[in-house]
């Protein structure tokens, strides 16, 4: 069972001192209807993070895998109604960054899989997100993706913690769930984030 942070935490002082060391080249996402537009540019890169974080006076030394992204441009309000983003890191040689959505009745996908310091573009993907009844919060995910070189990648994930967020978006509010997740791929175990966005049934943040 995943754990949800139902109430916003009180503000606490945070200090960061981190260095990012790239494990592969930068990947630029192509414009994909429902996921991005020609007026928005997005870059992503997998790497190794070293440093420290101080939260409310408690020191945490950091040495782990992750990714950094940067985007700019005019945002589109016609993004896919349902969107799923996966960032999963397994080791210095394997990271999966997959984006999926359902737009105008069609499934769309993009992203990149970093393997042996090469970015393989994702050309298609199928996603199944299993919710936790009755809240609707994500509990697990199953992914099957295909890269431009013809390879197929299967990934499973179990959600460990959930932070729900309500996105107003004018007359089309969305629920966004940021999920700390443990992933599995071909006998390997890794960690990362599963992000799920979907139309809100109402304006209640925590009712899914």
* Residue 50 domain-assigned (yes or no): yes
* Residue 163 domain-assigned (yes or no): yes
Identify which of 81, 83, 88 has the alpha carbon closest to the alpha carbon of residue 112.
88
* Residue 53 domain-assigned (yes or no): yes
Lowest mean pLDDT among 20-24, 90-94, 165-169, 202-206: 202-206
What pTM was estimated for this model as a whole? 0.82
Domains: count for the chain: 1
* Residue 4 domain-assigned (yes or no): no
Distances (CA, A) of 200 to 103, 137, 166: 16, 12, 8
pLDDT tens for each residue of 153-191: 999 999 999 999 887 766 677 788 999 999 999 999 999
**pLDDT above 90 covers what percent of the chain?**
57
* Residue 2 domain-assigned (yes or no): no
* Residue 156 domain-assigned (yes or no): yes
* Residue 92 domain-assigned (yes or no): yes
What string of DSSP letters covers 141-182? Answer: EEEEEEETTS-EEEEEEEEEEEEEEEE--TTS-EEEEEEEEE
**pLDDT above 70 covers what percent of the chain?**
83
CA 177, 85, 46, 115 torsion-angle sign: positive
* Residue 46 domain-assigned (yes or no): yes
pLDDT score recorded for residue 135: 79
Class of residue 69 by CB neighbours under 10 A (exposed 0-12, middle 13-18, buried 19+): middle
**Mean pLDDT, range 29-44, rounded to an integer:** 75
152 compared with 107, residue with greater pLDDT:
152
In the chain the first and final C-alpha atoms are separated, in Å, by 16
pLDDT higher than threshold 70 for residue 4: no
CA 42, 79, 37, 114 torsion-angle sign: positive
User: Residue 177 and residue 15: Cα distance in Å, rounded?
Assistant: 25
Residues with Cβ within 8 Å of 97's Cβ and at least 6 positions away in sequence, in order, are 27, 44, 46, 67, 86, 87, 88, 111, 112, 113, 114
């Amino acid at each position: 069972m995943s754990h949800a942070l139902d109430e916003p935490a009180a503000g606490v002082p945070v200090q960061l001192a981190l260095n990012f060391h790239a494990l592969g080249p930068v990947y630029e996402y192509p414009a994909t209807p429902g996921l991005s537009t020609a007026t928005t540019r997005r870059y992503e890169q997998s790497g190794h993070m070293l440093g420290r974080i101080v939260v409310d006076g408690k020191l945490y030394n950091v040495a782990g895998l992750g990714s950094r992204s940067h985007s700019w441009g005019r945002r589109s309000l016609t993004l896919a109604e349902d969107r799923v983003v996966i960032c999963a890191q397994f080791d210095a040689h394997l990271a999966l960054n997959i984006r999926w959505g359902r737009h105008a009745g069609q499934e769309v996908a993009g992203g990149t899989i970093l393997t042996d310091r090469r970015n393989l573009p994702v050309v298609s993907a199928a996603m199944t997100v299993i919710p936790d009844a009755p809240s609707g919060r994500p509990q697990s995910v199953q992914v099957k993706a295909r890269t431009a070189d013809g390879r197929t990648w299967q990934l499973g994930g179990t959600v460990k913690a959930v932070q729900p967020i309500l996105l107003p978006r004018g007359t089309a509010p969305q629920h966004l769930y940021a999920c700390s997740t443990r992933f599995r791929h071909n006998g390997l175990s890794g960690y990362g984030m599963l992000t799920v966005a979907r139309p809100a049934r109402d304006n209640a943040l925590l009712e899914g």
